[in-house]
Chains A and B, each alone.
Chain A
Amino acid sequence: GFFVGLQFENSCEIGVFSKLTNAYCLVAIGGSENFYSIFESELADVIPVVKTSIGGTRIIGRLCAGNKNGLLLPHTTTDQELQHLRNSLPDQVVVQRVDERLSALGNCIACNDHVALTHTDLDRETEELIADVLGVEVFRQTIAGNILVGSYCAFSNRGGLVHPHTSIEDLDELSTLLQVPLVAGTVNRGSEVIAAGMTVNDWTAFCGSDTTATELSVVESVFKLREAQPSAIVDEMRKSLIDSYV
């Protein structure tokens, strides 16, 4: 399902303060518990919801990048935070700190479980690390002329939403790379910073409070959230896990 009307301390940019993947969910430590409680009520029985900070800040959604295989943290992350995350997250998720000049990894890297798009100026080592830790194919791209690919698009394994000014050719090119259907649209009443305004995984999406009904319908249709059930997907994941053990 999808949820709207979320606010983190009166800001509708919830993608800044949270990170949602198929295996876990990270939430920033806020003044009130409302934000956390929404995620918890929805996801707690399926995936772990972890409260954290990164480098002492709350903008965790923009600082880290991850999928079901791993989580990449910037060099500003403290040892305690690193340890806390390692403890809270499932064992199959590899938590790795990355030494990278561009430390806002959430802005520089957009990924799902199979493909990642990165900032064009990312280091070669980081790129290799991403391929290793997250188990994805890495492509350096721009979106509508913007190099911060992590901010201007959000995609899951089912579909993706990109910056509204993306041309049709670009859209086709990205779609071919990512192998998912893409659509250009907005969130939060015309805001172009997609990833900041919403956060999504294969069966759920959370959108900021300013999102209009139109935007919501677009999100719902491109991410195929109507018929999505968590259990089916998680069972599939578990099946694959069991297979590997054996």
Chain B
Amino acid sequence: MAMAEEAGMFVVHQTIGTVLCCKCGIPMQPSAANMCVNCLRSEVDITQGLRKQVIIVHCPECDSYLMPPKTWIKCRLESNELLTFCWNKVKNTDFKKNKIRGVHAEFIWTEPHSKRIKVRFTIQKEVIANAIFEQKYIVEYIQHEGMCHSCSKVQANPDQWVAVVQLRQHVSHRRTFFYLEQIILKHDAAARAINVKQMSEGIDFFFANRSHAIKFVEFVGKVAPVKSRHDKQLVSHDSKSNNYNYKYTFSVEICPISREDLICLPPKVAASLGNLGPLVICTKVTNTIALMDPLTLRHCFLDAERYWRTPFQPLLTCRQLVQYYVIDVKIVSSEVNVRGSSYTAADVEVARLADLGTVLYAKTHLGHLLKPGDYALGYDLYGANTDDAELDNYRGLNLPEAILIKKSYEETRQKKRGKPRPWKLKSLNMELDEPKSRVEQEKVNSDYEQFLKDLEENPDLRFNISLYHNGEYQPSEMGTVTDGEDVPSVPLEELLADLDLSDKEVEDYCMEE
């Protein structure tokens, strides 16, 4: 017919006549089955043989449903995931077997406590020679309660862990751990930890899965120079199915060198680094240690492996820093740029604040920062009593009288004492040690304060850390009295707005330096 029309021939218009439905006799258009729709519907039931009630297992603790044999899918009532779950349950068994095509599915409201989920499916099936029949039917899902594997484990023993990562650093301060805590928070590395416990000289992280612990150990290895070892301990053993349950322990030791430490390198190490003058300052610790000779402004890097081959202790650490008053500065050489930080060699005349009478002469690398009348922090080698074994190795070494480490803003900070900072940090949810003595607690507090000051003074430290806007801070109405220079503080653009909902969204806006 179509061809005839295309050929331009005259084609008689065809009107379809009516026939009587063979069952009920009402006039209808002829169809493949020659029965009216109602008769066909009464004749044919394509839902015959399909299950109308299906049992599903639900875990009340974590609100997830079991997809046999082992997967648990977390979904809320009347959500898309639950609909997909119900659909899949019926599709693979019933629909495929009866050659039924599912077209549509929707929930029918049931009381949430009734433990019944009703879904109305619209299905299509071929009936009587190419006639496709569509029908709706309801499947009732009966919810049985049963705890999933992970919840039952947690219930049985909530303290049960499978793997623990024990981070230790054998130094007297906790600055490294404050810094690490911030990095871990930023990268969300401890998301899978079921428990975090603070110990003396370190932190323990507990995990439910060995692979999570390994991932964490690798993460720490990227941000600090560490040495690790692992062990396992047999907990239980099923000889019939050959299942062995272990507890895994990862012992991670962070090197004791921190920023601003004064180190006397052992002769072998000094030689291997190109005869770097035995006294060096550590300028930065990431997964490598950056060492700098303050007198020659030479620098080098030690990676973790190399350090642990010939480990060495610092000579003097931050606790031994002493305040100096700068009397005179004479710049010796031009500004040198070392890996992003600039230093200038200078000769200085300083005096210890505690003993302003004695004038000390020293070389320093802080020539670009210091001016006469400034305050600085440094190591007092003139008056120090060091019994370091390494120093003895060097006969005839001329110890400088003082090594300045950083400029001190103590005086200007005095004025701002007590006022809150415009930014704040978040902290990990840690289980703390037993309450220590008051002296120790004060030490920890002062360490933390020092850490915050470090963050303010050093932009490169802030790189890996998220700082949040402190809602309690109000900029003071009085204009800041500038006494020459201002206390370094964190520029406001670097602060992340602290959203109540979740911090993760805000991570996207992290500052780029």
Contact = CB atoms under 8 A, between A and B. Distances in A.
A binds B: yes
Interface of A: 164-171, 184-186, 189-192, 212-215, 217-218
Nearest to B20: A214
Given A184-B30, A186-B34, A190-B35, A214 B14 contact: no
Contact of B21 (A165, A169, A192, A214): A214
A171 B16 CA distance: 10
B474 to A, nearest CB: 87
Contacts of A185: 19-20
Given A164-B34, A190-B34, A170 B22 contact: no
B12 interface: yes
Contacts of B34: 164, 186, 190-192
Contact of A214 (B15, B25, B33): B25
In the A-B complex, the 6 residue pairs with the closest CB atoms: A190-B34, A214-B25, A167-B14, A164-B30, A164-B19, A186-B34
Contacts of B33: 190
B22 A212 contact: yes
B23 interface: yes
Given A168-B14, A214-B25, 10 more contacts: A164-B34, A167-B14, A167-B15, A167-B16, A169-B13, A169-B14, A190-B22, A214-B21, A214-B22, A217-B25
A20 B17 CA distance: 29
B23 A169 contact: no
Contact of A166 (B12, B17, B22, B23): B17
B22 A189 contact: yes
B24 interface: yes
A186 to B, nearest CB: 5
Contacts of B24: 214
B22 A167 contact: no
A168 B25 contact: no
A166 B15 CA distance: 9
Contact of A215 (B12, B13, B16, B22): B22
Contact of B17 (A184, A190, A212): A184
A186 B14 contact: no
**Which of A164, A185, A212, A213 counts the most chain B CB atoms within 10 A?**
A164
Contacts of B20: 185, 214-215, 218
A165 B16 contact: yes
Nearest to A217: B25
A171 B12 CA distance: 13
A215 B34 CA distance: 11
A186 B17 contact: no
Contacts of A166: 17
B409 to A, nearest CB: 98
Interface in B253-278: none
Interface string B324-337: 00000000000000
Nearest to B13: A169
Contacts of B30: 164-165, 184
Interface in B1-56: 12-17, 19-25, 30, 33-35
Contacts of A213: 25
Which residue of B13, B17, B21, B34 has the most chain A CB atoms within 10 A of its CB atom? Answer: B17
Nearest to B18: A184
A137 B21 CA distance: 34
6 contacts: A165-B16, A167-B15, A171-B17, A184-B17, A190-B33, A214-B24
A190 B207 CA distance: 70
Contact of A170 (B14, B19, B21, B23): B14
Contacts of B21: 214
A186 B15 contact: no
A89 B22 CA distance: 37
Contacts of B17: 166-168, 171, 184
Contacts of B25: 213-214, 217
Contacts of A191: 34
Nearest to B25: A214
Contact of B23 (A192, A214, A217): A214
A212 B23 contact: yes
Nearest to B40: A190
A164 B22 CA distance: 11
A29 B94 CA distance: 46
B258 to A, nearest CB: 91
Nearest to A186: B34
Nearest to B128: A190
A217 to B, nearest CB: 7
B22 A168 contact: no
Contacts of B13: 169
Nearest to B19: A164
A179 to B, nearest CB: 20
A169 B16 CA distance: 9
Nearest to A188: B22
Contacts of B19: 164, 184-186
B42 to A, nearest CB: 13
Nearest to A192: B34
Contacts of B23: 189, 212, 214
B16 to A, nearest CB: 6
Contact of B15 (A164, A168, A189): A168
A244 B502 CA distance: 110
A28 B15 CA distance: 39
